Amino acid sequence: MQLLLAVVLAAGVFFAVPRGVTVGSIQVRSSRMSFNASKSTYQIILTATIPIFNPNYMPVQVSGSLVVSFYDQQAGVTGLDPVNVPARAFPKIITVDMDASSVPQEYVFTIYTHCTTFPMETIFFLTGKLQSKYLGGLFHIPDIDNYFIISCTSPPDRKSEPPRLPTRPAKPPRLPPRPPKPPRFESSAAGVEEEQPRGSEDWTEDVVV
């Protein structure tokens, strides 16, 4: 009985012990970008794709905040609402839209210059603090500290068009009718070829006396 109890406790500890939730390589792209040169304003909406790895045997909740900066100037803060990550997720992909339009006005011209001259790219920095909730406890996830280069000429995402049904192949053209066979000719006594009417071998002429 004690051995069985020890096995059950060991199994419970193995499955319930918290394991560290981690963040994979984050991909960031621009989903919307516009400039107003007369008012010295701009709008950039960035989309971050965040892979979350959960090695636990039970689901967890991940929440926190993300900060986008243009060098040392903060461009926007985005809160991450609690997201359920299933057990043994390798990984669970989270998509977050971030507004990076809050830099001071004196930096707007720099961003505008980067996006209107070759190579039409600009750089942003991404930092973040995330935490996971597992069995009622809160656990810290390693901080996010990364940079990324945004192409100012990237078009927004478009939905892929549905596949089209294949069209029926065109019917082959009909062949023209065969030409009639030429009439047969037989040699006469005078050596001239004359047409032999059909059924002439069985035809006789009645002679009236």
Burial 8-34 (b: 16+ CB within 10 A, else e): eeeeeeeeeeeeebebeebebebeebe
Q: Residue 28 sits in a domain of what CATH number?
A: 2.60.40.10
The H or E element that residue 130 is part of is strand 121-134
Is 141 among the domain residues?
yes
Residue in 107, 81, 75, 110 with CA at minimum distance from that of residue 94: 81
Contact of 70 with 38, CB cutoff 8 Å: no
Residue 57 forms part of a structural domain: yes
pLDDT tens-digit profile, the chain (209 residues): 777 777 767 777 767 888 899 999 999 988 888 877 677 678 889 999 999 999 999 999 999 999 999 999 999 999 999 999 999 998 999 999 999 988 888 888 888 888 888 888 889 999 999 999 998 889 999 999 999 998 887 544 434 344 444 456 566 667 667 767 666 655 554 454 445 555 444 444 444 44
pTM exceeding the 0.85 threshold for the entire prediction:
no
| DSSP for residue 13 | H
Q: Which domain holds residue 94?
A: 18-151
Q: What pLDDT, on a 0 to 100 scale, did the predictor assign at position 75?
A: 92
pLDDT of residue 204: 47
Pick from 91, 201, 85: nearest CA to 139: 85
Q: How far apart are CA 182 and CA 169, in angstroms?
A: 38
The pLDDT of residue 49 is: 95
Question: Can you give the pLDDT at residue 64?
Answer: 95
pLDDT of residue 136: 86
The pLDDT assigned to 206 comes to 47
State how many domains the chain has.
Answer: 1
Asked, for residue 26, whether it belongs to a domain, the answer is yes
* Structure-block tokens of residue 156: 């927004």
pLDDT at 34: 83
Q: Is residue 12 part of a domain?
A: no
On whether residue 29 sits in a domain, the answer given is yes
Domain-embedded: residue 85 = yes
Q: Is residue 97, in this structure, part of any structural domain at all?
A: yes
Query: CA-to-CA distance for 120 and 33, rounded, in angstroms?
Result: 12
In a domain, 25, yes or no: yes
* pLDDT at site 110: 87
